Amino acid sequence: VIFAINLPLGLVSIYLLLAKVPADAPTEKRSLDLGGAALATLAFGALAYGLTSMSAEGGGQMSGPSIAAGAVLLSVFI
């Protein structure tokens, strides 16, 4: 019952958003940076794998190289 307040608050928020926030004017068409997206995905994936494998029994043999690879990929991305 206490969570029932979320529905009316959400509906009021959506109404106010649609009524008060102006629509963005169309701007120039931009292309998606697929290389950057792939690089960021690989970097964060390697970091996440390395950090989660550290908690495995024995510390995880691939945690160090995964974290290093993720750090290198992240620095290339930036």
Kindly tell me if the per-residue pLDDT of 62 is higher than 90.
Answer: no
The pLDDT of residue 22 is 87
Residue-wise pLDDT for 15-58, tens only, equals 999 999 888 877 788 888 999 999 999 999 999 999 998 887 77
Q: What is the dihedral of CA 63, 69, 70, 76, to 10 degrees?
A: 170
Structure tokens given for 39: 């690089």
Q: Are 51 and 63 in contact (CB under 8 A)?
A: yes
The pLDDT of residue 26 is 75
